[in-house]
Amino acid sequence: MRSGEQETRAEALAALEARQRAEAPSPGAIVERETHRVRIPEGGVIAQSAAALERLYADDFVVREKKPQVIDTRRSWGPYLVSIDQPPMVILDACSQIATLTHGFAHPGIVRALHEGRFDECLWANPDTRVQPSAILDDFAAALRERAPAGLHHVSFVTAGGSEANEKALRIARLHAPPTPQRSSRDRVLAFKASFHGRTHASLMATWNPSKRGPFELRGFEAVFVEAELEAVERALAARGAELYAIIVEPMMAEGGDVYLPPEFFAGLVALARKHAIPLIADEVQTGFGTGGPFFWWDRLGLGDDEATAPDMITMAKKANLGIVLSRWPDPEAEHAEVAVASALRGLIQLEHVGDQAIVEERAREQLEALAARYPALIEAPRCAGTTFAFDLPDNAAQLAFVAQRFHRGYMVYGAGERTIRFRLGARWTGGRIKDLFARIEETLRRLGTPAASAWEPEGQRRKREGPARPRPIIRDVEEGDWGQIIQIERESYEPARQDSEAYLRRYSKGGLGLVAIDPDDQSILGFCFGGPVENYRDISGADQDPRLDRGEVFYSADITVSEAARGRGVGRALKRTQIRWASEHGFKFMSGRNRIGATDKMMRLNRSFGAYPVRILERQYEGNARAEYYYIPLGAPEVARSTPRARPDGDDVDLASGIQAPFGPSPEFMAGRELVGPVGARLTLSNFITPDVIDYAEHLRLMLPRGARHMLVTSSRDEMIDKALRCLRLSRPSAQLAVGLEGGYVGHTTAAARSLSDPRGFGPSLALFDWPRIPHPEGPGGIEATVEALDGMVAQAGAETLYGLVAEIVGERSGYVLGGEAAVALGAACRRHQLPLVLVETASGGYRNGAGPWAVDQLPPGVAPDLVLWYPGGQLGHVFVNDRYWIDKPLTLISTWDGDELSMIRAHEHLRAAGKLDGLAEASAALGELLEGLVPAHFAGTRVGGLGLYRTLAFEAVADAHAVRAACRRRGLTLGEGLPGTLIVAPPFTLDAAAIGGLRRRLNAALAAAAGGEGASA
C-alpha cells in the first residue's frame, strides 16, 4: 500500500474512532435496566436499530441476516431483551439465547465476579493457555468431574462451541475405535435422523437435515443415518460396523423438534455400542448445565451413575460458554488447548448457580398443560423438562405463522423440526413472568390465520393522560418540618417489624443523606429516602457483615418509602436515582441495602434495574420469621487489578509467547475506557442479534480490509475460520473434495478440516481425518519450483474442480516459513492458471504484527490477490474476508450459533485502534530480527530464524536444543512459545519497543549460552 493511501486510511479511522467514542457509553455510568415488562413501540418502529443495521450492512460488507433489534446489553436484564431505541423494544427472550443463558442477561454471579476481581486475569486480554496454565480452567474441570457420569474422568476444553466440542469428541473416538484390516479405515459416524451436531465439517456430516448437510458432504465420510430405534441401530452395526468410528446421539433431539426418547432406548444403545466396541458420544450441547433439570439429561434418564449405562463421552457448550468434552480417554492435544478464559469463567459461574433453574419446570408444566387443554385442535404433544418446554402445531405452515408473530406478541422463540415450537427459560423466570409468557403464547395461537396476526399492539409505553401533564416531583434534602409527614408515611407503609422509628431515621440522617420527594402542586411529601456510609449502620443485620466494612467504599440505603397515594408516579425511582448519583459523586464504590424476600418485590425490582446483585441471603430477619437479600449496586466500572510482571534481579519477566492472544500484554490500559459489564454479563448469539459494539468493530474493519476483500464472515475460533472458508468456497465449487495446504502449515487442530490441513508434527497420532494433500513450502528444500510443480501435479491428478483451493499462511504460525514476494507471485500465478482459489492466512502477520501495516498481504507484490483472507486475533473470534467472486449473500447459509463473541470483538477493536497509532513497529520488528539473528545461530549453528515483523521463530536442528533453550529462557524470566517440534516462537507484545527488545540481549545471550553449555530442560 502506498503512503498516500495509508495516510488517507489513518485519517478515516481517526474520524471513525472519534465518532464512535462520542457515542459509546461511559464505563460505570448509571444505567437503568428493564426488569419487569415488555415494551412494544407504536407500529413496532425501531428506527435507531434500523439505522444502526444499515451501518453494518453498508457496501454489502456482511450478509443481511440479523434480527431487526440492535441490542443494548447494558439495559437488558434477566429474560428482558432490550433494543437501543428510544423508546426501546423490550421482549421476553423465551429461548435464553438458544439455551446459552441460565439467568438471562446481567447474570448476578457474573456481575458480582466482575466487581470482585474474578475476571481480572482475563478481562482485558485473553491469556494464552498454551503458555500459562489457568486456575480458572482447573476449577472448571474439577467442578465438571464432580458432576460427570461414571467413568468420565478426562475434561477437554475447545475454543468455540458445540460443533467444535463434537469434533474433538469425534477425534478422540476415532483413536479408540477398533482396528481395521489393512488398507482400510473407519471414516464414518453413526448418527440419527432428526439429529443436529453442528456446522463444521465432521459434525455437519453427522447432522440429519439434508439441506444443511448435503451441499458440504465429502465422499467416503458421509454419516450412516438411522431412526432412533434399537432394531435400526443393530441392523446398521451389523451391515456397516466396520466403517464406523463413533456413534453420536442427542439425549433430546433439539433442532429436530425437541424429540424426547425413552431411557430404554439409550440403555440399549450403550449396550450395542459396547458390544461392537464403538465409542458412544452423548451430545449434550443443548441439554447440559441443568437445561433438562439434572445437570446432564443423561442423569434425567437415570443412566449416569453406572459405567455400564454411561456414554463414553459427553459434549457440552451453550451455557458452558465454550466447548467441553468429558471422556473416558485423554485428549491427545490437551497441551495445545486454546481457550477463551473469560468465557470459561462465565461458564463456570453459570455452573455454580445452575441449581437456581430448578424453579422453572413445575411452573412451566402447569401453564403448558392448561394451555394444551384449551387448544386441543392446535397443540399436540406438549412436553416439558427442566427449563425447556415445547409443543407441536398441526403443520409447517402453522409453525411458520406462529414464529412470524413472535416480535409482535413481545417474545423471542424458535421453531424446530417441521412443526415444533420450542422454549428455553431460566432462573429468573418467576411465576408471574411465566404466566405473562403463556398469555402471549395464547394470544399468538388465537391470532393464527387471521389478519390480526401481523398487527402491532403498542405496549409498555407511557400512558397518555387527559388534561395537563403531572409535574415531576422535586427531590430535596430533608428539613425539620418534614418529620411529621415522614413518620406518618412510614407507619402507613410497613408492618411493625419493618417500621423505622423517628429517632432511628434522625440518627442516621445526620451522618449521611436524607431526601424527600415533594409534590410541586401542594408541597406534600410523596416519599423519602435515608442512607449513609455502611459503617454508620454496623448494628444492622447485613451491614454488620458487609465485606467492605471499614473501607469507606459502601453507601448503605437504609430506607426508601413512597406514600400509597403517590405510588406508580415514579417517585421511588426518582429518589433512588438521586441517592445513587449523590453516593457516586461522593466517592462511594457501591450502594448496599437489604430487601425482605417475598414482601418487597417492587423495591427489589427497582434496585435490580439499577444493577443490584445479591451479596448474601440473611436468615431470621424482621422478628426472626423472614429472609432478606443483602445487595450491592455498583457505582462505577469494575476495578481491574493490573497484571504486573514478576521483578527479577536481571529484569522483569517478559512474555514473548502470547502476542496473538494478548497483543498488548495482559492488562492494556486503554481497555479501561470500555464498558464491559453488559457484554460480559450475558452472551448474545451474534448470528441473530448484534450490539453497537459489534457494529463499531465492523465499521473499523471495513476501512482496513486486506487486499482484494470486500466482505466478511465471522467465526468463534481459528478452526471455524477454515471450516467456514471452505464451506463458502464449496457453494461456488460444488465438486470440491480436497483442500490443499503447505508443509509446516497450521490452521487449527480441533475440527476435522483444520486437522486435515495442518502439519501433524507435534500433535497426537492420526491427526487428519480427510486425506488432504500438503505440498512443499517455497521456503523448503525444493524452493518455489517444487511448490509450483507439486500444485500443478495435484491439479493434473485430481482435476482443478475437485479442489477447494490452496490454503497458505503468509507467516507460518508454527513453522515461521514466510510466503514472500517471489513465492507469492508464483503461487498466485499458478492458482490463476488453474482457476484455483487462493486462501491466505494472516493469524501470525495480521493486525499490524507484520511491522509494516495492518496486513502482510498488502505488502506483497501488486499482482498477488487472494480470494479469501483469514485472520484469528485470539479469544473466540475469527474473520474470513472474501472477494466478490466467492461471496455468498444468502441469509443464514454460513452462520454458526454464536458467530464470534462480543467481548473478543471489543478487545480486538481496541487492539487494532492502539496498534494503528504506534509509530515504532517497523523499528521494533527490525530490532527483534537483529537480536535473534545475531545471537541464536552464534550459539546453535544451523538454527533457522524465521517469521516476520513481531512474529519470529527459531528452528533448531535438534528438538532437545529447543527444549533446553526454552527452559533456560524461562529460568531467566523470558517465556517463549512452541511451534513445530524443535521450533520456538517469539511473539512479543506491541508494548516492547526497539529499545526494550534490545534490552533483552544480555538475558537471552545468557540463556543461549547456558543451554548450549549443557543446562538442560530439566536443570
The enclosing domain of 790 has a CATH number of 3.40.640.10
Which CATH number characterizes residue 608's domain?
A: 3.40.630.30
In a domain, 780, yes or no: yes
In a domain, 60, yes or no: no
Q: What angle do CA 289, 294, 295 make, to 5 degrees?
A: 30
Contact residues for 881 (Cβ-Cβ < 8 A; gap 6+): 705, 706, 709, 711, 712, 868, 869, 870, 871
Rounded CA separation 584/334 (Å): 46
Rg, C-alpha atoms of the chain: 30
Same domain, 439 and 295: no
Domain with 927 in it: 920-1012
Contact by Cβ (8 Å): 155, 142:
no
Mean of the per-residue pLDDT values for the chain?
A: 95
Burial class (CB in 10 A: 0-12, 13-18, 19+), 430: middle
Rounded CA separation 662/657 (Å): 9
Same domain, 511 and 626: yes
Question: In this structure, which long-range contacts are made by residues 131-140, counting pairs with CB atoms below 8 Å and at least 24 apart in sequence?
Answer: 131/655, 131/657, 131/658, 131/975, 131/977, 132/655, 132/658, 132/975, 134/339, 134/341, 134/344, 136/341, 136/344, 136/345, 136/348, 137/339, 137/341, 137/344, 139/348, 140/344, 140/345, 140/347, 140/348, 140/351
Same domain, 786 and 860: yes
Same domain, 612 and 725: no
pLDDT for the residue numbered 184 = 79
Q: How confident is the model at residue 1017 (pLDDT cuts 50, 70, 90)?
A: low
The number of angstroms, rounded, from the C-alpha of 976 to the middle of its chain's C-alpha atoms is: 28
Same domain, 614 and 761: no
In a domain, 655, yes or no: no
pLDDT for the residue numbered 464 = 56
Element at 848 (helix H, strand E): none
Q: For 766, left (φ over 0), alpha (ψ -120 to 50), or beta?
A: left
pLDDT for the residue numbered 1019 = 46
Judged against a pLDDT cut of 70, whether residue 469 lies above it is answered with: no
Sheet of strand 388-392: strand arrangement: 380-385, 388-392, 420-424, 414-416
In a domain, 505, yes or no: yes
In a domain, 485, yes or no: no
Question: Widest CA span of the chain, in angstroms?
Answer: 98
- Of 884, 916, 948, the residue that ends a domain is 916
Share of the chain above pLDDT 90, in %: 90
Contact by Cβ (8 Å): 716, 878:
yes
Cα–Cα distance list, 310 to 45, 95, 252, 279, 330 (Å): 51, 29, 16, 11, 17
Burial string for 408-428 (b: 16+ CB within 10 Å, else e) reads bbbbbbbbbbebbbbbbbbbb
Contact by Cβ (8 Å): 611, 106:
yes
Burial class (CB in 10 A: 0-12, 13-18, 19+), 19: exposed
The three three-digit cell numbers of residue 867, written as one number = 480470494
Contact by Cβ (8 Å): 912, 700:
yes
Rounded CA separation 285/325 (Å): 10
Same domain, 982 and 908: no
pLDDT in tens, 37-57: 999 999 999 999 999 999 999
Q: How confident is the model at residue 509 (pLDDT cuts 50, 70, 90)?
A: confident
pLDDT in tens, 417-445: 999 999 999 999 999 999 999 999 999 99
Same domain, 441 and 524: no
pLDDT in tens, 784-828: 999 999 999 999 999 999 999 999 999 999 999 999 999 999 999
Judged against a pLDDT cut of 50, whether residue 159 lies above it is answered with: yes
Neighbours of 639 (CB within 10 A): 14
How many residues would you count in the chain?
Answer: 1019
* Phi and psi angles of residue 109, each rounded to the nearest 5 degrees, phi first: -70, -35
pLDDT for the residue numbered 771 = 96
Contact residues for 162 (Cβ-Cβ < 8 A; gap 6+): 197, 198, 203, 283, 285, 286, 315, 316, 317, 318, 323, 897
Which CATH number characterizes residue 448's domain?
A: 3.90.1150.10
Beta-bridged to residue 158, according to DSSP, are 323
Cα within 13 Å of Cα(779), Cβ side: 22
Contact by Cβ (8 Å): 989, 665:
yes
In a domain, 869, yes or no: yes
Rounded CA separation 468/987 (Å): 67
Q: 230-240 and 263-275 are packed helices; what angle lies between their axes, rounded to 10 degrees? A: 20
- Of 865, 887, 916, the residue that ends a domain is 916
Same domain, 433 and 509: no
* Amino acid at position 344, single letter: A
The three three-digit cell numbers of residue 857, written as one number = 498481504
Rounded CA separation 492/488 (Å): 6
Q: What angle do CA 177, 178, 179 make, to 5 degrees?
A: 120
pLDDT in tens, 362-406: 999 999 999 999 999 999 999 999 999 999 999 999 999 999 999
pLDDT in tens, 983-999: 999 999 999 999 999 99
Rounded CA separation 423/382 (Å): 12
Same domain, 884 and 933: no
Rounded CA separation 868/857 (Å): 11
Strand ranges for 393-548 from DSSP E: 411-412, 414-416, 420-424, 474-477, 513-518, 525-533
Q: For 99, left (φ over 0), alpha (ψ -120 to 50), or beta?
A: left
Contact by Cβ (8 Å): 365, 373:
no
Contact by Cβ (8 Å): 684, 690:
yes
Same domain, 933 and 841: no
Number of domains present in the structure of the chain: 5
Specify the residue for cell string 400512558.
463
Sheet of strand 323-327: strand arrangement: 154-158, 323-327, 313-316, 280-283, 244-249, 188-192, 224-226
Same domain, 85 and 136: no
Least-confidence region, from 303-312, 463-472, 576-585, 788-797: 463-472
Peptide bond preceding 645 in cis form (omega within 30 of 0) = no
- Of residues 621 and 204, the one with the higher pLDDT is 204
Asked whether the CA dihedral 804, 805, 808, 810 is positive or negative, the reply is negative
- Of 614, 634, 654, the residue that ends a domain is 634
In a domain, 651, yes or no: no
Judged against a pLDDT cut of 60, whether residue 873 lies above it is answered with: yes
Rounded CA separation 323/319 (Å): 10
Rounded CA separation 139/21 (Å): 37
Local structure of 56: helix, strand or coil: helix
Least-confidence region, from 549-563, 602-616, 619-633, 867-881: 619-633
pLDDT in tens, 907-939: 999 999 999 999 999 999 999 999 999 999 999
Average pLDDT over residues 469-483: 90
Same domain, 905 and 994: no
pLDDT for the residue numbered 263 = 98
Judged against a pLDDT cut of 50, whether residue 185 lies above it is answered with: yes
In a domain, 490, yes or no: no
Cα within 13 Å of Cα(993), Cβ side: 4
pLDDT in tens, 749-784: 999 999 999 999 999 999 999 999 999 999 999 999
Q: How confident is the model at residue 2 (pLDDT cuts 50, 70, 90)?
A: low
Asked whether the CA dihedral 161, 164, 170, 176 is positive or negative, the reply is negative
Q: What is the DSSP string of 653-694?
A: -EE-S-TTT-BTBS--GGGGGS--HHHHHS---TTT-B-HHH
Average pLDDT over residues 508-535: 92
The number of angstroms, rounded, from the C-alpha of 145 to the middle of its chain's C-alpha atoms is: 23
Best CA proximity match to 502, nearest among 534, 468, 528, 470: 528
pLDDT for the residue numbered 642 = 82
Share of the chain above pLDDT 70, in %: 98
* Amino acid at position 1016, single letter: G
